[in-house]
Structure 1
Amino acid sequence: MEAMHSSQMQQAMEEMKRQMANMPAEQRKMMEEAMAASGIHVNEDSVSLANGQVNINKNGMLAKQCITQEEIDRGEVADVGDECQSTLTQIAKNRFKSTQVCTGENSSTTETEIVFHSPTHYTGKGSSSQVFNGQQYSTNITMEGKWIDSDCGDILPATYDDE
C-alpha cells in the first residue's frame, strides 16, 4: 500500500505541476496563493499539508503533532473512529505493543511494537493489512518519534471526541 500511495502521490504531484506550468502566470499565482491559504505547499520534491505539519515525499511521510502534558497524563490515544478498537499493552519497561482493528468497508488490522529509548525518543515497527476498494493491501510500518520543543508554535494539539 505504501508503494501504491507513493506512486499515486508522485503521479498527482507531476500532474499538478504540469497543469500549473500550463496556466497563465496570473492564474498560476492565484492558484498557488489559494493553496497556500489552505495550508498546502508544493515544491519540486514534496507536498506539505496543514501548514507544514505533514510533509510527503518519495522517502515517506513526516508528521508533526503537538501533545500536551495533560494528554500524556490521561494516557490518550489519537481518535480512531467508531469502527476501530485500539489496545496498548506494555510488554517490558520501555516496550509497548499497539493493536488497532477497524471494521467496515475499508477494514484494517495494524500491529506495532514501540520502544521508548528515553523520555524524548521512541522507535517502532509493525505491519498493517487493509481492504481498500475491495482489494487487500499489506504495509510495513517504520516510525520514529522525537521531542522537538516545549512550544508547539502554530501546531495545535489533537482533539478527542470526549472533550
Structure 2
Amino acid sequence: MRKTVWLVLSLALTTSFAFAQDKLKPGLWEMTMKSDAMKNMPKISPEQMEQMRKMGVHVPQMQDGGMVTKVCITKEMAEREQMPMTQNESDCQAKNYQRSGNTYSVDVVCNGPNLKGNGKMKGKMNGSESFSSTYDFKGTAHGQPISQKHENSGKWLSSDCGNVKPMAEAPLKK
C-alpha cells in the first residue's frame, strides 16, 4: 500500500506544474504536498532513509505534515505551455487542460493495471516563482479503493539546479 500512496503522491506532485499566463521560471523548485494519506504513512527512520538513498532511491523530505522535494525545470520545460508528467506515470494521462489568467485546471485519468481512477487539479500561479493547487483523486490502487486529497505548493529557489537532475517527461495529451 505504501507504494500506491507514493505513486499517487508522485502523480499529484508532478501534475502540480501547470502553466498559466505567467510561465514558470526555469531552475530549482521546492515542491510541498500535504494530504491526509501522508499523516497515516508509517514513519521511516533516518537510518532507513539513508540506506534507501544509498541504494539510489529518491526519498522526499517529510516536514510539517507534508512531503517536500526539489525539482529541476529546464528552460525548454518552462517555455512550453503544458504540464510535465514523469514517464513512470504512463498509466495516467493529463487531459482537458484549461487556463484563464493565472488559474488552471486539468483532469487526470488513470487506467493501468495498478492504478485506475480520475482526478482533478485546480491551481493558481502567483507570478513566475510560485504556485498553489489542490488535487482530488478517486479510484482503485492494486484493487483497493482510494480517495486522495492533496494541497500542493511550489516556489522557485534558484536558476542553478545544482545536482538535481531535470524530470524525465511524457507528453501531455489534450
Q: TM-score range by the shorter chain?
A: 0.5 to 0.7
Partner of 1:98: 106
Shift of 1:99: 1.2
Higher share in strand: 2
The answer to whether 1:61 aligns with 2:70 is no
After alignment, is 89-98 or 55-64 more displaced? 55-64
Aligned partner of 2:84 in structure 1 is 77
The separation in 1 between residues aligned to 2:53 and 2:90, in whole angstroms, is 32
Counterpart of 1:59, as a letter, is G
The percentage of aligned residue pairs carrying the same residue is 21
Q: Which has the larger displacement, 128-137 or 85-94?
A: 85-94
Q: Secondary structure at the match of 2:72?
A: coil
Deviations 1:53-80 (A, max 9, x none): 7212560211210001111223351235
Distance 1:133 1:83, change over 3 A: closer
Give 1:38 deviation, angstroms. Answer: 3.2
Whether contact under 8 Å (1:126, 1:142) holds in the other structure is yes
Q: Structure 1, residues 80-107: CA drift from partner, whole Å, max 9, x if none?
A: 5433221253342111102110102321
Query: In the alignment, what sits opposite 2:94?
Result: 86
- Give the number of aligned pairs: 135
More helix by share: 1
Q: Secondary structure at the match of 1:129?
A: strand
Q: Distance in 1 between matches of 2:167 and 2:147?
A: 27
Aligned partners of 1:95 and 1:85: how far apart in 2?
Answer: 20
Which residue in 2 is equivalent to 1:134?
A: 143
What's the TM-score, normalizing by structure 2? Answer: 0.64
State how 1:100-119 maps to structure 2 within 5 Å. 100-105=108-113, 106-119=115-128
Gaps of 5+ in 1: 21-30, 40-48
Instruction: Confirm or deny: 8 A CA contact 1:6 1:58 kept in the other structure.
Output: no
Please give the secondary structure, in 2, of the residue aligned with 1:115. Answer: strand
The higher radius of gyration belongs to 1
Counterpart of 1:9 (choices 18, 37, 42) is: 42
User: Given the two structures, how large is their TM-score scaled by the length of structure 1?
Assistant: 0.67
Higher relative contact order, structure no. (Cα contacts within 8 Å, ≥ 6 residues apart):
2
State whether structure 2 residue 55 is matched by structure 1 residue 38: yes
CA distance in 2, matches of 1:33, 1:129: 33
Aligned CA RMSD, in angstroms, stands at 2.9
